[in-house]
Amino acid sequence: MTTDQTPPDTGTKPLRADARRNRARLLEVAEAVFTERGTGASTEEIAREAKVGIATVFRHFPTKEALWEAVLVRRLQRLAEEGRRLMTESGPAHAFFAFFDLVLDQSPVKNAFAAALADAGVDVRAATSEAGRALREVLVALLDGAQRAGVVRRDLEVPELTAILVGTCRMLEHLDGHPESAKRARAVVRDGMRAHPGSRGGRGRPHS
């Protein structure tokens, strides 16, 4: 909770108490609003929902895009954290799919997370790509562990893994309200990533 997420270095002066609280609340609310209404949601709405003036929003985040970026970074950081936790708590064979499920469960709502991962992949800003890099490292470890354990097809690599997560998020978003279909869609992707039982340890799949 504490986690003054903005890098604690950069010689930034200690923020005043209320400012600190407002900033945190803004990030919270912004994440919710962006998640619900998409990036097109107006800054005014976020301000209203966070019970601050618009000026306060722009004081903390010089631009709307900067706010979006900050929300993004927070998400990526949390995700990387949870990935690391899973790796130490479960064995490598389980951690990978646990993370897969966690990602998909975490954002049952809308597309914001997909956008987050998407942007991370494309490496937008410095901060974002910093957090994105951390997450990517976790993904590498998870994937490698699962492949060594023989539970994930060997030909899978990180770039497409990111895309698969993004795409599957979209699938589930689209199946919101149809839990049975969502379960099956998820199973399709999960099974597709699984090492083929027949081809023990070999390349991923016999043909195309």
Could you give the dihedral angle defined by the CA atoms of residues 119, 121, 126 and 132, in that order, rounded to the nearest 10 degrees?
Answer: 110
5 scored as a contact of DNA (CB under 7 A):
no
Query: What phi, psi does 152 have (nearest 5°)?
Result: -125, 140
Beta bridge partners of 152: 194
125-184 positions binding DNA, by CB under 7 A: none
Indicate the SS3 state at residue 195. coil
114, 123, 131, 151: which one binds its own copies (CB under 8 A): 114
Identify what 151 binds: DNA, its own copies, none; CB under 5 to 8 Å per kind.
none
* C-alpha to C-alpha distances, 51 to 64, 129, 175, nearest whole angstrom: 17, 31, 33
Q: Which is nearer to its own copies, 53 or 108 (CB)?
A: 108
- Count of other CB atoms within 10 angstroms of residue 152: 25
Which of its own copies, DNA, none does residue 18 bind to, with CB < 5 to 8 Å depending on kind?
Answer: DNA
Read off the DSSP letter of residue 29. Answer: H
Q: How far is CA 168 from CA 41, 63, 100, 103, 186, in A?
A: 24, 30, 10, 10, 7
Q: What is the DSSP letter of 12?
A: P
From residue 38 to residue 67, the character string flagging contacts with DNA as x (rule: CB under 7 A) and all else as - is: ---xxxx------xxxxxx-xxx-xxxx--
Please state, in angstroms and rounded to a whole number, the distance separating the CA atoms of residues 77 and 25. 18
Among 88, 191, 200, 201, binds its own copies (CB under 8 A): 191
The total of other beta-carbon atoms located within 10 Å of residue 204's CB is 16
- Residues that contact its own copies, how many (by CB under 8 A): 41
Q: Does 15 bind DNA (CB under 7 A)?
A: yes
171 near its own copies (CB under 8 A): yes
Part in contact with its own copies (CB under 8 A); list of ranges 20-28, 53-61, 125-133, 168-176: 168-176
Contact residues toward its own copies (CB under 8 A) are 40, 114, 118, 121-122, 153, 155-157, 159-160, 162-164, 166-172, 174-175, 178, 181-182, 184-185, 187-193, 196-198, 204-205, 208
- Chain residues binding DNA by CB under 7 A are 13, 15-19, 22-23, 41-44, 51-56, 58-60, 62-65
